[in-house]
Amino acid sequence: MAELRWNPMLSTWTMVAANRQARPHLPSNWCPFCPGSGKVPETYEVYSYNNDFPALTKTPDIPDIEENGPYKVQQNYGKCEVILYSPDHHATLPSLSKEHIYKLICLLAERFIELSSDPKVKYILEFENRGREVGVTMPHPHGQIYAYPFLPQKIKIELDSCQQYFKDNNKCLICDMNKEEIRFKQRFIAENDSFIAYLPFFTDYPHGVFVVSKSHKANITSFTEKEKYELALMLKNVTGAFDNLFDRLFPYMMCFHQTPVNCDEYQDSDLYYHFHIEFYTPLREADKLKFYASSEMGAWAACNPMSVEQTAEELRKAYLKYVSAQEASDEG
């Protein structure tokens, strides 16, 4: 059973994908993403791999259930890909070199271009789930790409808010957020020539970092070679800071937020929407999770249990500690 079911109460689609129940769960004696598995090339640096258990597919199933009353149904058309970061089963983003992560950024840009060529695709989400705490079933370092035939609800809300802000102020909302975080300083984590990292004023996760391009860019395909290298370095350092924060592998969800594709309603979104990466981080302490409980899930009324001005200071120190260690390693 696999289809899209319309939620008339929230005006969005739910993906039904019963085939995903068959995914392997943290196998200890075999990995399909490692060279020698027969599933991937014997040698690779970064690699795009079609998901074996896709929620969306170019050869969609016929829905098992018919439309009725307020309930609509669609085929699960789209694409799900796995992006392998490295052939090294134990690698992590902070353990990879800037040059290696640059190649990963280039692959993500290539896949964005290819997937957007399908007129049925409306949004491309590039993301990584890391750690058992966020439900990872395969420990080999990898991200994923979902190419949806609809505009996901959270992205639509962000687009509508940014569009309204642009109409009211003739300015980009996220550009103004950048300016305010730079001015205020206390939620600021790091910057290089092309990107900044900070805990936004409103984040509902104690360590919910945003990585944002300094220049107004719509999506990953807009970046120069220098910007791709500097995005690679920023991702390496921010994820390294996470691991330094509690001296443990730090779980997170990392989501690239970019302009839609093939979407008439938002065809001018490059004017008011701005590339950024959002981290959703479940740890509030080394051994304590921040759960999304009834208020968050039942009412979408977010609650951050910690002051981001305080957690930003802690994360900033972890960032500096990681960067200093990297510089010392490079000199040695």
SS3 265: helix
How far is Cα 282 from Cα 289, in angstroms, rounded to an integer?
5
CA distance 87 to 266: 38
Distance CA 43, CA 47 (A): 10
Whether 142 is catalytic is yes
Asked whether 239 and 207 are in contact (CB, 8 A), the reply is no
Q: Which one of the listed residues 140, 142, 207, 276 is annotated catalytic?
A: 142
C-alpha dist (Å) from residue 218 to 146, 259, 270: 18, 6, 5
Who's near 185: CB < 8 A, 6+ residues apart? none
- Residue pair 228/221 in contact by the 8 Å Cβ criterion: no
**Cβ(148)–Cβ(122) below 8 Å:** yes
Three-state DSSP class for residue 77: strand
Positions marked active-site: 142
